[in-house]
Structure 1
Amino acid sequence: MYDFLYLQLHTDLDVGNKNIRYVLAGEGAGTIFAINELTGDIHAMKRLDREEKAEYTLTAQVINRDTNEPLEPPSEFIIKVQDINDNPPQFIEGPYQGSVPEMSPVGTSVTRVTATDADDPVYGNSAKLVYSILEGQPYFSIDQNTAIIKVALAGMDREMREDYLVVIQAKDMGGHMGGLSGTTTVTVTLTDINDNPPKFSKGSYEFTISEDLGIGKPGGRVKANDRDIGENAKSTYSIIAGDEKDVFEIVTDSQTQEGILTLKKALDFESKYFYNLTVVATNIRPSATGAPFMDQTTIKIIVEDADEPPVFTKSTYVFEVHENAAINTVIGTVTARDQDATRSLIRYSIDRHTDLERQFNIHVDDGKITLAKPLDRETDTWHNITVTATEIRNHSQISRAIVAIRVLDINDNAPEFPTEYEAFLCENGKPGQVIQTISAVDRDNPAQGHTFHYRLEMLNNPNFTIKNNLETIPSASWRNTTRSVVRNRKCTCCPSW
């Protein structure tokens, strides 16, 4: 940039001639540049800035002062603005962000910065830049020509320090004295690598789990901490010893990275009340060296006894009783037992919703079922009742069992004739002639184990006989009898009448 510009135009005309005048036209004439009409000297009227406009094209001409007629053709000339070092370097894109993996070796490239200088790059050294680090050593270095920032210190650990602020300077004039400079900042972040194994916060854990904990429910949480972040910090948990019956499993909470111990099978305090599990946490990603990162701990599990309901020896009982059994006859006995260590006494009862007629009773202490009302097989062959067993110590602990009672038949029903019979007989009927077939039914059950036979006898009339369809009739079967009147009429249709 020039504070003053002086040019002198020359002409072949006699400069002593007072009748000539110099005129100027073109870019900036009259505003930026002015010409002395008498001498032809050109002056700059304001400061010039090469970075705004590097050259101007102008024309000058000599004219007659009186007539304004040109005395010679116009002359064109170019004014070039010569550069000076008046612009400092600038980092247009700064401030910068860069990253590099932790533990990177010396010389690893981090990022590149770029400064620009508005001065003329082909004239002198005004735009020749040299880069250097003002802050950020000894961790990083910069190539003075390419402006590539590199790692300068080995073994930088993200877990010790993650971010570094680096101040970069660009200086023109090739870095020599008197040059102008500009600065920018670069925030360098060390990115994580998997260089830390998981580590349990405790060498051993102890959980007390109630035996009534449901399947899939959490029984405890463990945590293997990892100084790494992101995927490098994620671990999976597994049980490698102490769970021979495959009772437990451990899964990873995706949010907290905890290992959640859950049940795959129900616990039973009475069969096993202590477990000693060995649990391993293993990184999902391999380590920086390729070897797996893992840690292990011990989980001691104490199974807590829960108050469980009594257990019947059978889920369903089947008893039999004859229908003529006496009241208070013992039909059968049910048995339930408290499996808990406290061994509570048991009280038995009948669910009366299943025995609305109160046909049966049960002894509250020993579970004996007795008959309360007479039975009739022909009315109900089966009775299905529900019995309950309740702990005396905790009335909320109740179990139920089905009792099916089969009523056995006895011969307590006489045969029955379905109707009174009326037969027709011709007076000339022959002996042995079939006059009528009669039958009787018995409600007792022949399939119950008894053999029922029916003996039909003719009473009060020696002129007629009845032929039985059974050959052998045990005398014990004769006690239940019934009678029917067979009325005899003479046949009115026979011609002999």
Structure 2
Amino acid sequence: MGRPRRGVRGAGQLLRWAVLQAAWAAAMGQVRYSVAEEAEAGTVVGRLAQELGVAAAELVSRPLRVVPEGGGGSLEVNAQSGALLVRSRLDREALCGPSPRCALELEVVVGKPPRLFHVEVEIQDVNDNAPLFPEGAQNIFILESRPPGSYFPLEGASDADIGTNAALSYKLSPNEYFAVEEKVNDEQSKSLVLELKRALDREQSQVHELTLTASDGGKPELTGTAQLVISVLDANDNAPVFNQSVYRVRLPENAANGTLVVKLNATDLDEGVNKDIAYGFSNLAARGVRELFTIDENTGEIWLTGHLDFEDRKLYDIKVVATDKSAFPLTGHSTLLVEVLDVNDNAPELRVTSLSVPVPEDAPPGTVVAVISVSDRDSGANGRVSCSIGAELPFRLVGTFKNSQALVLSEAVDRERVAEYEVVVRARDGGAPALWASSRLVVPLSDVNDNAPAFAEAVYTVFVRENSPAGAPLVRVSAWDPDAGANGRVSYGAVERRVGERPLSSYVWVQAESGSICALQPLDYEEVQVLQFEVSARDGGLPSLSGQASVQVFVVDANDNAPVVSPWGRGLGPAWEAVSLSAGAGQVVGKVQAVDADSGYNAWLRYEVQDPLSAGPFRVGVYSGEISTSRALEEADGPVRSLVIVVRDHGEPALSASATVSLSLVESVRAVAWESGPGGGSGGAAVDSNVSLLIAIWSVSGLLVVVIAAWVGVRCCGGPAEACGAGEGPAVCSSGGGSWSSSQQQRQSRLVCVGEGGAKRDLMVFSPVVPSSADNWAAEKQQDATPNPCGTSGRKLSVYQAFPA
């Protein structure tokens, strides 16, 4: 089977992401379970994976994880089955205290891509706490004169359970004097009292010891007991009476120490010492009351001496007593209810849990980055928290469940633009003034190969002297990839094409690591004038990306070709039989033609007679090669005059060739003999011909020259650019010193191109100024001292100039 196409695979990933988004949105309604508080470890709370639509086979690639671990790690998710299990003992009273409802709120993360779900596990109460009295024994003093039907307050028991498991009932050990009863006051507050059923007689019995039993409503029920020690006192007819049965006070939780809470007032109808009253807290007062409040026993003033905290306790039920100072004191009872008012004194608390960090730069919007849990110990508006982040960030907050929010990606991100984001989450409560809290989260982005290498220049241009040694560097290309790691590691190579009949790889080599381009062989200007090719830069990503740039190597001509004199007698030049003695001064009697395969100054030819003294009445044009008379001819100048013509170019150093011309001075027309050779040869044999034949030959030759000149003019000056390949080289223009040699018009040259389109003819006519030999020597010495990136020991190419196109 073939590999799926990239577009199909991207569409499948997008469809899967949309399905996960829909499942996440459907799961926002929350999953609820319940479990008994004393359930054994390993008890299955619920089939969580099944509820969330995650198959068991997917749990390896998409594991479930509880964030944060609820109940201090009391619950966990089984990695194989995806079930929510009890991990350790669940104690409802330790987790939720006296709250009537106890539930653990869990946030479950399904991985790859991470998605957030909410689970609520309600802890059901079991009857695991027996009723407990604050004191094992209670001492009660009762005057023998108290009538039946009198009530005496008792300290009841407490049960840490809730509901029916905490519904207490009391019973007293069998006796004929007392009974126990629960009374409900107008504040719907229950109080336990001891009821006197029969008159006491101190002389008959001074102490009654009874057992008070408290039973809860659980099945089976649990009980707790306390001992009641009732002492019968001698008569003190009237006990003190408070002016209020219940005192109600409201204090803000930030009330300062020393604040007056209330002033109690009680009266006693007795006289004397039995009327004097001392105020105090009842022995039944809740623990910690004496740490927060103090009472003046003489005035009945109660002062605040500690710190109130609404979040710890909202209401204080304080039992107060007024006792007369009789030898057998009587006591009056009342209740002080202190309601604590909430003040915005707790700042919000933040907890940030990272999920998808680092975030891939191609992550789709909606990816969950972190879970933010907020809480505030205050209540009402003071505990209502709102969260916010910076407006310029590619993230947003999504409310998930109560005081939990998810930080999700809101737009596409680019690591090359911003490598990491610093997200400051601010939480603000609704108090006045509001309190703040903040948490800092660094979100780095991981790299994805989404940038192709880019060259510093689109076109690299370099000029190289021909015949430079093989292996020398031509130019170094450079590309940059903003990706990181292997995604940004660039390697270079030439795009293989053919240059004429040979592959590009036979001309140049590109070093993969550095981008240095080297010549594999000496370049010949007469064979290749322009070498143009493409260089590719490829990164190491999967899949890899690439970029290209063009390289143009212009070969600069060197004077490596000597002039060549055209052979005569083949129709390439006029053939002269003789020179008439009647020729006047300045008459052209012949012409030497030479060509040079080089170009520019190296092909600019100069003609001169080797021995001017032997030339006699003849001279040669310095740049034209025409042989003409310098004066009128005389018989003394004949009969035969041989001239050795030397042809030199303007190269450094100059190269030369020579030709020997034999002239016969006759009364009538005679033939001219020609001889040529690289070092100057002997004259050739003259060809006899009549004047008519000579005129016919001149006519045909002239017509041929006109046709050739017209064809060259059309090819060089008119029409569109010619295609690359073999063709006419550029014509050499005239200068103030004379005319250029026509050798460039007569020789054939090749313009080699690699790429699309025709050759650039404007590049052929440009001839850079060749430095002097001293300058060449200094430049070559400097290049010899430079390390060779191509790893060769030969001299480097003479590179004149490199600049962007």
Q: TM-score, normalised by structure 1?
A: 0.51
* Whole-angstrom CA distance in 2 between matches of 1:247 and 1:70: 119
Three-state SS of the structure 2 residue aligned to 1:300 is: strand
**Where does 1:386-425 land on structure 2 (aligned, <5 Å)?**
none
8 Å CA contact 2:609–2:615 kept in 1: the answer is no
* Aligned residue identity for 2:508: F
Unaligned ranges ≥5, structure 2:
1-360, 497-503, 669-805
1:125-166 deviation line (CA, Å, top 9, x unaligned): 22111111222211101122221111112x432212222222
Give 1 or 2 for the bigger CA radius of gyration.
Answer: 1
Match of 2:645 among 279, 282, 300: 279
- Counterpart residue number, 2:532: 165
* Whole-angstrom CA distance in 1 between matches of 2:621 and 2:458: 47
Tell me, yes or no, if structure 1 residue 133 matches structure 2 residue 498: no
Match of 1:113 among 467, 477, 483: 477
- Counterpart residue number, 1:6: 368
- Counterpart residue number, 2:513: 145
* Whole-angstrom CA distance in 2 between matches of 1:216 and 1:20: 117
| Alpha carbons of structure 1 residues 242 and 299: separation in structure 2 relative to 1, 3 Å | farther
* Whole-angstrom CA distance in 2 between matches of 1:76 and 1:51: 23
Q: Which has the higher helix share?
A: 2
| Alpha carbons of structure 1 residues 132 and 15: separation in structure 2 relative to 1, 3 Å | farther
* Aligned residue identity for 1:2: D
- Counterpart residue number, 1:298: 660
8 Å CA contact 1:22–1:40 kept in 2: the answer is no
Tell me, yes or no, if structure 1 residue 250 matches structure 2 residue 620: yes
* Aligned residue identity for 1:47: A
Q: How much does 1:225 deviate?
A: 0.5
- Counterpart residue number, 1:197: 562
Tell me, yes or no, if structure 1 residue 89 matches structure 2 residue 457: no
- Counterpart residue number, 2:419: 54
Q: How much does 1:226 deviate?
A: 0.6
8 Å CA contact 1:243–1:277 kept in 2: the answer is no
* Aligned residue identity for 1:202: P
* Whole-angstrom CA distance in 2 between matches of 1:241 and 1:2: 85
* Whole-angstrom CA distance in 1 between matches of 2:582 and 2:390: 102
* Whole-angstrom CA distance in 2 between matches of 1:274 and 1:72: 120
| Alpha carbons of structure 1 residues 68 and 115: separation in structure 2 relative to 1, 3 Å | farther
Match of 1:181 among 529, 541, 546: 546
| Alpha carbons of structure 1 residues 177 and 78: separation in structure 2 relative to 1, 3 Å | closer
- Counterpart residue number, 1:367: none
| Alpha carbons of structure 1 residues 79 and 70: separation in structure 2 relative to 1, 3 Å | farther
Q: How much does 1:199 deviate?
A: 0.2
8 Å CA contact 1:27–1:57 kept in 2: the answer is no
Three-state SS of the structure 1 residue aligned to 2:593 is: strand
Three-state SS of the structure 2 residue aligned to 1:232 is: helix
* Aligned residue identity for 2:630: K
* Whole-angstrom CA distance in 1 between matches of 2:602 and 2:516: 29
* Whole-angstrom CA distance in 2 between matches of 1:92 and 1:241: 60
Q: How much does 1:251 deviate?
A: 3.2
8 Å CA contact 2:617–2:637 kept in 1: the answer is no
Q: How much does 1:250 deviate?
A: 2.1
* Whole-angstrom CA distance in 2 between matches of 1:40 and 1:16: 19
| Alpha carbons of structure 1 residues 14 and 295: separation in structure 2 relative to 1, 3 Å | same
Q: How much does 1:304 deviate?
A: 6.8
* Aligned residue identity for 1:252: V
**Where does 1:431-450 land on structure 2 (aligned, <5 Å)?**
none
Three-state SS of the structure 2 residue aligned to 1:126 is: helix
Three-state SS of the structure 2 residue aligned to 1:252 is: coil
Q: How much does 1:34 deviate?
A: 0.9
- Counterpart residue number, 2:444: 80
- Counterpart residue number, 2:153: none
Q: How much does 1:59 deviate?
A: 2.3
Three-state SS of the structure 2 residue aligned to 1:40 is: strand
Three-state SS of the structure 2 residue aligned to 1:188 is: strand
Q: How much does 1:240 deviate?
A: 2.4
Three-state SS of the structure 1 residue aligned to 2:567 is: coil
* Whole-angstrom CA distance in 1 between matches of 2:422 and 2:582: 100
Query: Percent of aligned pairs with the same residue?
Result: 24
- Counterpart residue number, 1:156: 523
Q: TM-score, normalised by structure 2?
A: 0.33
* Whole-angstrom CA distance in 2 between matches of 1:55 and 1:26: 15
1:17-74 deviation line (CA, Å, top 9, x unaligned): 9964443332524xx321124533111222111223333343212223x559755323
* Aligned residue identity for 2:473: S
- Counterpart residue number, 2:596: 226
| Alpha carbons of structure 1 residues 49 and 260: separation in structure 2 relative to 1, 3 Å | same
* Whole-angstrom CA distance in 2 between matches of 1:220 and 1:182: 62
Match of 2:608 among 238, 248, 268: 238
1:345-383 deviation line (CA, Å, top 9, x unaligned): xxxxxxxxxxxxxxxxxxxxxxxxxxxxxxxxxxxxxxx
* Aligned residue identity for 2:610: I
Q: Larger deviation: 141-150 or 20-29?
A: 20-29
8 Å CA contact 1:243–1:275 kept in 2: the answer is no
Q: How much does 1:252 deviate?
A: 3.0
1:262-281 deviation line (CA, Å, top 9, x unaligned): 33333235753543222121
| Alpha carbons of structure 1 residues 119 and 211: separation in structure 2 relative to 1, 3 Å | farther
* Whole-angstrom CA distance in 1 between matches of 2:492 and 2:604: 41
1:150-198 deviation line (CA, Å, top 9, x unaligned): 1112x4322122222222111112xx76322112221222221111111
8 Å CA contact 2:645–2:660 kept in 1: the answer is yes
* Aligned residue identity for 1:294: S
Q: Larger deviation: 8-17 or 54-63?
A: 8-17
8 Å CA contact 2:608–2:646 kept in 1: the answer is yes
8 Å CA contact 1:89–1:117 kept in 2: the answer is yes
* Aligned residue identity for 1:130: S
| Alpha carbons of structure 1 residues 129 and 102: separation in structure 2 relative to 1, 3 Å | same
* Aligned residue identity for 2:438: P
8 Å CA contact 1:166–1:186 kept in 2: the answer is yes
* Aligned residue identity for 1:151: A
| Alpha carbons of structure 1 residues 13 and 265: separation in structure 2 relative to 1, 3 Å | same
Unaligned ranges ≥5, structure 1:
307-497
Three-state SS of the structure 2 residue aligned to 1:46 is: coil
8 Å CA contact 1:96–1:113 kept in 2: the answer is yes
The structure whose RCO (Cα within 8 Å, separation 6+) is larger is 1
